[in-house]
Chain A
Amino acid sequence: MKKFISAVFVAAIALGAAQADAKDWKKVRIGVEGAYPPFSSVTSDGKLVGFDIDMANALCDQMKVECELVTQDWDGIIPALQARKYDAIIASMSITEERKKKVDFTNKYYQTPAKFVRKKGSGIEITKDGLKGKTVGVQRATIHDNFVTEVYGDAVEVKRYGTQDEAYLDIAAGRVDLLLADSVALEDGFLKTDSGKDYEFVGPDFTDPKYFGDGAGIAIRKGEDELAEMFNAAIDAIRANGVYKSIQDKYFNFNVYGS
C-alpha cells in the first residue's frame, strides 16, 4: 500500500512537472497600470483604454493567445510580476539596466523622449542655476525619478507621486514648479486637457540611454525566453502588417516607435 501511494505521488509530481515544461501559453495575463493616459487609463465606466491596452490586445491576437489584463499600481508592478500575478507587463516600462537585473525585456514597442513642463510665464530654465530651489514632480520609481534625483538632485526638491495623475493635480494646484515625464504622456495626459492649458514644455528632449533606457519594452519574468520570443515575433509582425500603424494613428500624429 505504502509503495502504491508513493508511486502515485511520484507520478503526480512527474505529471505536474511535465505539464509545466510543456506550457504552450494558451492564456497570457498581462499587468497594466491604468493611470497613465494616453497609454493606459480607466474610463469613467471602468474600461481600460489607451495605447498600451490596444498594443496588448493586438499582440495577443497576433500570438493567438487569450489575454487577461490585470491592473496594478506602478510601485508594485515588478514584484507582482515576480509573484506570478501576471506573466508580462505592458505598461510603458522603459528598458533600463537597473530593471534588467530583476526582469527580462522584449524589444522595444515604442520610444519617446522625456521633457519638462512649466507654467507659462514662469520663466524657469532647465539649467543647474535655473532649477535651484525649484520643486519637480515625478512619478515614483520611474526613469524620470532616477534622472532628476541623480542629475539635479542637489539643486531641486523632488516630489514623488504614486501616479502621474496625482502629479498633474499638484502642478495645477501650484504645489510643484515643474514636472518631468514622458513627453507624449505629458502632452496628451496634461497639456491638452483643460487643467493643463496654462502650462508648456521647456528644455530639451531627454533620451540619454544611461537614464532613459532603450525605449519601452514588455517585461517578462527571468528565464521565460519562449514568451519573450513570442512577443518579439508579434511586435515585428504587427509592425509589418500595418496593425501597429493603425493603433499609432489612433493616438498620435507622429512615429511613436522612434528610430
Chain B
Amino acid sequence: MDFSPIFENYPLFLEGLVNTTKLVVSALAIGLLIAVPLAILRTSRNPLVNGPVWAFTYFFRGTPLLVQIFMIYYGLGQLQFVIELSQDWTFLRDAYWYALLAFTLNTAAYTTEIIRGAIEGTPYGEVEAARACGMSKSQTYRRVILPSAFRRALPAYSNEVIFMLHGSVLASVITIVDLLGAARIINSRYLAPYEAFLSVAAIYLCFTFLIVGGFKLLENRWFAHLRPREQTTGKKQTQPA
C-alpha cells in the first residue's frame, strides 16, 4: 500500500472535511430548531395538529435517505420553474443546498420523534406540580417539561448525530466533494481503493470519537443530579465512570 497520493492531495481531503462538517453541523442545527416545535405539536391530542407532523415524520423516517436526496436533487431539477429560477439564482445550481435540505428534513423527522418520546415520558406529577404553582402552559413547557425532556432525549439524540454524520456520505453521489467524495476522486485517479477509503474511514472514526466524547461531557453535566453524592471529606473525588 502506498499512501503518498493521500498526503499529496491533502487539500482535497481538507475541502472534503470542511464540506462534511458544514453539511452535518448546519443540518443538525436547523433540524433541531425545527424539531422542537414539531415535537410539541406532535404530542397534541388534536388530530388536525398532530396528523400533519405525523405524516411528515412517517414519510422521512419511512424512506431511505438516498431516495430523498435523489428526489430533491434530480426530482426538483426536472421542474421547469426550478430550472428558470436557477438562471438568476445561481445558488440553486449548487448541489450543496439540495443536500442540506434533504439532510435537514431527514434529521428533523427523527429528532421530532426522539423529543416527542421524551416529552411524553415526563412524569405527570411534575406537570401537576407546575400547574399547582400557577404556571401557564407555555411556562410549564419552558421551565419543566422541555428541560427534563431534553435530558431524557440526550442519549438517543447522540445516536442521531452519529447517524447523520455517517449518512452525510450520500452527499458524494450528487457531485459534492465531501470526505467520501474526496476519497472517490483519489480512488479513481490513482486506482487505490484501500488507501483512499481507509484514510476517510479513519477520519470518520475520529469524528465519531469526538461526538461520543462531547455527549459524554454533556451527559455528565446534565445528569449530575443523578450521580451518587460526592463525599465531602475534603479530598478531590475521582468521577464515577
Contacts and interface: CB of A to CB of B under 8 A. Distances in A.
B77 A170 contact: yes
13 contacts: A75-B187, A140-B188, A141-B187, A141-B189, A145-B188, A160-B175, A169-B74, A169-B77, A173-B74, A173-B82, A173-B83, A175-B77, A176-B93
Contact of B185 (A135, A140, A166, A169): A140
A102 interface: yes
B interface bracket (residues with beta carbon within 8 Å of A): 10 to 19
Contact of B86 (A76, A141, A159, A174): A174
Contacts of A102: 191
A78 interface: yes
A130 interface: no
A133 to B, nearest CB: 11
Given A162-B173, A175-B93, A75 B188 contact: yes
Contacts, number: 50
Interface string B73-115: 0100110001100110000011100000000000000000000
Nearest to A137: B175
Contact of A160 (B78, B86, B185): B185
Interface of B: 74, 77-78, 82-83, 86-87, 93-95, 173, 175, 184-185, 187-189, 191, 193
Given A173-B77, A175-B93, A146 B189 contact: yes
B189 A173 contact: no
Interface of A: 75-76, 78-79, 98-99, 101-102, 135, 140-141, 145-146, 159-162, 166, 169-170, 172-176
Contact of A174 (B74, B93, B95, B191): B93
A46 to B, nearest CB: 20
Contacts of A99: 191
Contacts of B83: 173-174
Contacts of A170: 77, 175
